[in-house]
Chains A and B, each alone.
Chain A
Amino acid sequence: MSIINESMTSKEMLNILVAKNMEDARKAKERGDLVCWSSSIAPCEFCEAMGIYTVYPENHVVGIAARKGAPELLEYAERKGYSNDICGYARANLAYMDVQKCVSEELPLPDLVLLCNNICETLLKWYENIAYELNIPLLIVDVPYNHDKEITEENIQYVEAQFHDIIHQLEVICNKPFDEKKFQEVMKVSAQNAKDWYDATMLCSARPSPLSGFDMFNYMALIVCMRGKKECGMTFRKLKEELEEKISRGECGLKNAEEKYRIMWDGIACWPYLSHTYKVLKKHGINMTGSTYPSAWALEYTPGNLFEMAKAYTGMGNNLSLEGQINLRKSIIEETQCDGVIMHMNRSCKMCDFLQYEVGKELNDSLNIPITTFDGDQADPRNYSKAQYETRMEALVEMMSENIPSRNSSGN
């Protein structure tokens, strides 16, 4: 029997499921069942089919950072020899691996790890260290960067071949044959969940948007951690219903504020200052309607078709060429009708930052859309300045209001 039901709101479902997922993993560990640490957009389908409990260090650190608990872990990592240039998620997680204590939910230590570098190469070294230090098996799906315009057949074939290798490795680790039947079911569930996630979050394109992008950040925990479970899709379908109702009532996702401007948020949230970043935007009537997150987990494939599945994991936004990344953002800006772009110069994520100049210039030139950047970090609070953020947002509002004078005056 499911622990959620249709009478609950999507938010209630979300909270129950996220807590339950972590609790299940802790209990599994106590029982001696296998626990896996996985990168956020790795193919969860294989471990799920084998009954391995999977938890997500990136998501775990988000919880820690948002509760202001990252500094202790970051300092521990730095004392151990990790440079403070390294990704804050990785530093905090590698420290947690040693101290196993944090301000958020406790994460059981893994018996194996699964990494997929379709979001960044940092994961390679981070997970290397986990596997080496804990002396546990490491499963990897190495996704080649799509440096040309198209995603090549060769890239996809290489990824697909690794899926078969993972199946073989899991059989050895679990000492049982791969559960093909369960795998087929999980693929169906995952593909459906991905679709439900995309359908719900893309309702942001309505005007006003029924969802604040910052609320979407909360729901993201579910698509990260429970993509292989039915309850995940149930929650997103509920969310979609709620948002459709709000659209029919003309309700805005910003609480007690009018949506004057719509922006695309480029990059990861600045978790240690989530509230501040949100409140400043809200004060100006800015709603984040566009982001790369809805499409990030829109991993569409025909269940049972491993080639398509490999293609879906290979075609991730972060893994696209510059041209692909620009086109992705253009379509988000157009679909969600954004008036401006906020780029998070995230000290922890080189992949998010190092094409910002080129992406920003092209968006600005071709769409005539104002862009601002701010310095921040996904986990390390030391890299953010409230004053800088506020000033930059004021400047963005000024530029957006010049671009859309009619809407601005009607909004006042």
Chain B
Amino acid sequence: MEINQIINNFIQIANSPDKAIKQSCERNHKNAVGCVAPYAPEEIIYAANCIPVGLWGGEVELRKARTYLPAFACSIMQSVMEYETKGTYDILKAVLIPAMCDTLKCFGQKWKGACPAIPFVYPQNRRVKSAELFLENEYKSITKKLEDILNVDITEKALKESIILYNDYRLAMREFTEIAAVHTTTISPTVRHQIIKASYFIDKKEYLCYIRELNEKLRLQPVEHSKNKRVVVSGIMLEPKGILSHFESLGIDVVGDDLAQETRQFMTDVPFAGDALKSLARQWINHNACSLAFDPYKQRIQHLVDLVHHFKADGVVLALMKFCDPEEYDVPIIMSKMKEENIPLLVIEIDQQAKAFEQINTRLQGFVESMDD
């Protein structure tokens, strides 16, 4: 396939999740299992011969969700709630919900969708050995529940194969973000986002073929010397798409990210630790530089500075998910660090239900000018 065809394929998948999931399930004779953002041991789902589907909300008008959640719940959870009550997720056989913040703790208890919910906990005191053991037990429990719900056996062999596939996927994605950073005309902010987002809606094996092919083809293309401003984006996610179109119209390239929906998904490999579930647990223990993983040393802050240097970025855009505690607490510290490092920073507010982006456009415009100074 030509580069454009591969890219268009990704865009279609990202634009029509329902269709993409259905078709991928049919092609591969699999069922779909949902993973409420941000993290889940997708490998277990995959080993159960199912396609893990990322549930990150979307641009949906809130009606029923307002009954169940106060207005100050984050917009991802508001729209996931809306989708679950209107039957959008009825295709799913089960859904995993991590108790990563107060909102998600409660969310795991109030699932309104048709399929069963499996809430689980990521331990946060990762310096103690027992955290790994605890998580291994959580994963055992998830495995057992999935086996019961899906009436399948999840074998050690299938888990190990799944881990290998996912590590291959992570490597390919890291390669993609590197290659994309020097092909920002072809891989515009919207295209970059859509390519990464598409990974949530099809079988990872299929996705891996596409992304590898794209990487290979892009590598053969000459480096694109864009005159646009280069930024690193941080936060939970950079949506709605309306925001991304302003990045493009103002000549801002996304060269790297620290987004939970994007790079944070594939920055930590699953290490080999013998037993498959132990290996999966160890991945979380090794997962650092993330606002959602407890860290009194705030490695995320230095990580952001390192990303800016690595990608030779002109500045950082912090896409702050409205009502997201874990992200909001980091803001003053990021502000102070960027000032100290003399790195231009813009904080924009992310609300999936937003319809107008003029204010963000104006602020981005000012930011572009400030990076010229």
Contact = CB atoms under 8 A, between A and B. Distances in A.
Binding partners A and B: yes
Interface of A: 80-83, 85-87, 90, 117, 120-122, 124-129, 131-133, 138, 140-142, 144-145, 147-148, 152, 154-155, 157-158, 161-162, 165, 321-322, 345, 347, 349-351, 353-358
Contacts of B67: 357
Nearest to A356: B70
A358 B124 contact: no
Given A122-B325, A354-B102, A85 B72 contact: yes
A128 B331 contact: no
Interface in B75-126: 99-103, 105-110, 119-121, 123-125
Interface stretch (B130-138, B168-176, B202-210): B130-138
Nearest to B120: A147
B239 to A, nearest CB: 19
Nearest to B109: A322
B102 A121 contact: yes
Contacts of B128: 161-162, 165
A129 B329 contact: yes
Contacts of B106: 350-351, 354-355
Contacts of A131: 296
Contacts of B133: 154, 157-158
A85 B75 CA distance: 13
Given A82-B328, A350-B72, A350-B106, 13 more contacts: A127-B296, A128-B295, A132-B297, A132-B298, A142-B123, A144-B123, A152-B137, A322-B109, A345-B70, A350-B73, A354-B103, A355-B106, A355-B110
A152 B70 CA distance: 30
**Which of B70, B131, B326 is packed against the most chain A CB atoms within 10 Å?**
B70
Given A81-B335, A162-B125, A354-B69, A125 B130 contact: no
B134 A154 contact: yes
Contacts of A82: 328-329, 331-332
A321 B130 contact: no
B296 A144 contact: no
B296 A354 contact: no
Interface string B327-345: 0111111010000000000
**Which of A120, A142, A155, A355 is packed against the most chain B CB atoms within 10 Å?**
A142
Contacts of B101: 121, 350
B332 to A, nearest CB: 4
Interface size class of B (residues with CB under 8 A): 35 or more
Contact of A351 (B102, B333, B335): B102
Given A82-B331, A147-B99, A355-B106, A158 B130 contact: yes
B272 interface: no
B297 A358 contact: no
A369 B115 CA distance: 31
A142 B102 contact: no
A162 B72 CA distance: 33
B322 interface: yes
A155 B119 CA distance: 14
A322 B112 CA distance: 14
B107 A354 contact: yes
Contacts of A122: 102, 325
Interface of B: 67-70, 72-73, 99-103, 105-110, 119-121, 123-125, 127-131, 133-134, 137-138, 291, 294-298, 320, 322-323, 325-326, 328-333, 335, 347
A271 B137 CA distance: 41
A145 B100 CA distance: 10
B101 to A, nearest CB: 5
Contacts, number: 142
A31 B128 CA distance: 33
Given A132-B296, A140-B294, A147-B109, A350 B123 contact: no
A147 B121 contact: yes
B266 to A, nearest CB: 24
Contact of A128 (B296, B322, B328): B296
A350 B325 contact: yes
B110 A358 contact: yes
B332 A147 contact: no
A163 to B, nearest CB: 10
Given A124-B294, A162-B125, A162-B130, A133 B333 contact: yes
Contacts of A354: 69-70, 73, 102-103, 106-107, 110
**Which of A140, A152, A158 is packed against the most chain B CB atoms within 10 Å?**
A158
Contacts of B73: 350, 354
Nearest to A142: B125
A158 B131 contact: yes
Contact of B329 (A126, A140, A158, A162): A126
Contacts of B295: 128
Nearest to A136: B296
A131 B298 CA distance: 10
Contacts of A356: 70
A162 B129 CA distance: 9
**Which of B69, B294, B331 is packed against the most chain A CB atoms within 10 Å?**
B294
Contacts of B131: 142, 158
Contacts of A120: 102
A395 to B, nearest CB: 19
Contact of B294 (A142, A162, A165): A142
Contact of A83 (B134, B331, B333): B331
B94 to A, nearest CB: 14
Contacts of A90: 329
A86 B102 contact: no
Contact of B124 (A80, A142, A154): A142
A138 B332 contact: no
B303 to A, nearest CB: 14
A158 B110 contact: no
Contacts of B102: 120-122, 349-351, 354
Contacts of A162: 125, 128, 130
A162 B103 CA distance: 25
A322 to B, nearest CB: 4
A128 B332 contact: no
A322 B110 contact: yes
